[in-house]
Amino acid sequence: MSLPVVLVSGGAGYIGSHVVHVLQQSGFMPVVLDSLVNGNLWAAEKADAFRQGDIGDAAFVRAACEEFKPVAALHFAAFIEVGESVKNPQKYFVNNRDKAKIFFDTIAGCGVRHVVFSSTAAVYGEVTESDPIKETRPTEPINPYGQAKLDAETHLRTIAGVASVALRYFNVAGAAPQASLGEAHFPESHLIPRVVLPLIGMPAAVQVALDLAKGFKVFGDDYPTRDGTAVRDYIHVMDLAEAHVLALRYLIGGGASDVFNLGSGSGYSVKEIVDAARSALNRPDFAPEIVARRPGDPATLIADGAKARSVLGWQPKRDVAAMIGDAAQWHRLPVYAETIVEKSGR
C-alpha cells in the first residue's frame, strides 16, 4: 500500500524541514514545495520529493497536486521577521496573506480536505497579562506579521469542505543534529541561537556574517518578572514537529477545524536562558550586556497548552537544556557555517 502524500509548503525552511523528518518517521510521504527564497536545498532534498516554486503560483501548486495527489497539506511558507514586517508591510501581506490564500484555494480546488497552518503567538498582540494565554483570548495583532497570519487563518476557516488546524507557535528553538537539521536563518534574530553562537567559537566568516562581535544583549532587566528580564515560552522544534503529525492525524480522523497554542506552558526568563547556556556550554565567564527594553516587548508571554494536550494528546518532552545542547551541536556542523556564509553573500 502506498503511503499518504502530504504537501509541505516551506519544507526547505527551519520548522518545515523538521516536520518533514517526523512525517517520514510517522508513515507519511512528504512532498516539499518551496521557492528557496529563504530555504535550503540540502533540507528540501531530504523530502520524498521536492518541487521548486512559489506557493502564490496557482499553476505550480495545481501541477504538484495533480502529480502527487496529496491527502493533506501543511503550510509553512512565509516570511518570519516581525521587525521587517513593520518596515515593509506589503512584503508580508503579499507573501503571508495573499499567497497563502491562493495556496489554500488552489489545493482546496484540487480536492485537498485537510490543512495544518503555521500561525503564531503574534496574533494575540500586546499582551499585558502574565497568565498563560488561552486560544479564546482576543486576537489584536500589533504588527503586519501577526495581522497577515491572522488574516490567513481566517480565510482558511471559510473554505467550504476543508477542515483545518491553525497552530499558534510560541518561541521555537533547538535542532535535530543527528538528522543534520537545524536553524540556518540569515539574519538570525531568535534568542537561543543568538546566545549559543557567540559561545561556541564559530569560524571567522560566520562571526562576521552574523555580526557576533557586537555581543549578545539583554533588552531590559526591569520587567515585573522574577529576575527582571522578559519571560518567554520555549518549545523544542522536534516537539513542535510531533504536534503537526498529531494535528494531521486529528484532521484525517474527522476532527473539526480548530486553533491550538503550542508552548510548554512554563516560561523561562532571558537570564535563565543565559544561565542555562553558560552551564551547558561550560562558559561561566559569559556576561552579556544589559541594555534598555525594546518597545512592544511584553514582560511575559506563555502559552496555555491545555487544549493541545487534551484534544491532540500533545505533550512537549524536551527542555531548554536540550534546546541549547541540540542547537550548539547543529551550529557546529560544517553545513551550518557554509549555509550562513553563502546566504550572507547573496
Using CA of residue 102, residue 105, residue 109, residue 114, what is the dihedral sign? Answer: positive
CA distance 346 to 15: 22
Q: Does residue number 327 form part of the binding site for ligand NAD (CB under 6 A)?
A: no
Q: Does residue number 174 form part of the binding site for ligand NAD (CB under 6 A)?
A: no
Residue among 15 and 270 whose Cβ is closer to ligand NAD = 15
Residue nearest ligand NAD (C-beta atom): 13
Q: Does residue number 12 form part of the binding site for ligand NAD (CB under 6 A)?
A: yes
* Minimal distance, residue 99 CB to ligand NAD, in Å: 5
Residue among 99 and 271 whose Cβ is closer to ligand NAD = 99
* Minimal distance, residue 346 CB to ligand NAD, in Å: 13
Q: Does residue number 259 form part of the binding site for ligand NAD (CB under 6 A)?
A: no
Cell of 305: 497548552
Q: Does residue number 132 form part of the binding site for ligand NAD (CB under 6 A)?
A: no
* Minimal distance, residue 181 CB to ligand NAD, in Å: 11
Provide the residue count of the chain: 346
Is residue 57 within 8 Å of residue 95, measured between CB atoms?
A: no
Instruction: List C-alpha distances in Å: 270 to 243, 264, 273, 300.
Output: 25, 16, 5, 11
In the region spanning residues 71 to 90, those forming contacts with ligand NAD, defined by CB under 6 A, are: 76-78, 80
Is residue 73 within 8 Å of residue 16, measured between CB atoms?
A: no
Alpha-helical regions (H) of the chain? 14-25, 41-44, 58-68, 82-87, 89-92, 99-109, 144-158, 191-196, 204-209, 237-252, 270-280, 306-307, 320-331, 334-344
Is residue 195 within 8 Å of residue 274, measured between CB atoms?
A: yes
Is residue 190 within 8 Å of residue 32, measured between CB atoms?
A: no
Residue appearing with cell numbers 483545518 = 164
* Contact letters for ligand NAD, residues 100-129 (x by CB under 6 A): ------------------x-x---------
Query: Of 14, 28, 216, 268, which lies in the binding site for ligand NAD, with binding defined by CB under 6 A?
Result: 14
* Contact letters for ligand NAD, residues 178-217 (x by CB under 6 A): -------x--------------------------------
CA proximity to 167, closest of 192, 155, 149 = 149
Q: Phi and psi for 68 in degrees, rounded to 5?
A: -110, -15
Q: Are strands 231-232 and 268-269 parallel, antiparallel or unpaired?
A: antiparallel
**Looking at 92, 124, 145, 234, which residue is catalytic?**
145
* Minimal distance, residue 261 CB to ligand NAD, in Å: 11
Residue among 80 and 328 whose Cβ is closer to ligand NAD = 80
Binding segment for ligand NAD among 49-57, 158-166, 202-210, 221-229 (CB under 6 A)? 49-57
* Minimal distance, residue 270 CB to ligand NAD, in Å: 16
Q: Does residue number 164 form part of the binding site for ligand NAD (CB under 6 A)?
A: no
Catalytic residue list contains 145: yes
Query: Of 5, 6, 15, 191, which lies in the binding site for ligand NAD, with binding defined by CB under 6 A?
Result: 15
Q: Does residue number 302 form part of the binding site for ligand NAD (CB under 6 A)?
A: no
Is residue 71 within 8 Å of residue 252, measured between CB atoms?
A: yes
CA distance 45 to 181: 12
Query: Of 8, 31, 50, 54, which lies in the binding site for ligand NAD, with binding defined by CB under 6 A?
Result: 54
CA distance 191 to 273: 9
**Cβ-based burial of 25 (10 A; exposed 0-12, middle 13-18, buried ≥19):** exposed
* Contact letters for ligand NAD, residues 26-45 (x by CB under 6 A): --------xxxxxx------
Count residues contacting ligand NAD (CB under 6 A)? 27
Q: Does residue number 172 form part of the binding site for ligand NAD (CB under 6 A)?
A: yes
Q: Which residues are catalytically annotated?
A: 145
Positions touching ligand NAD (CB under 6 A) are: 10, 12-16, 34-39, 54-56, 76-78, 80, 95, 99, 118, 120, 169, 171-172, 185
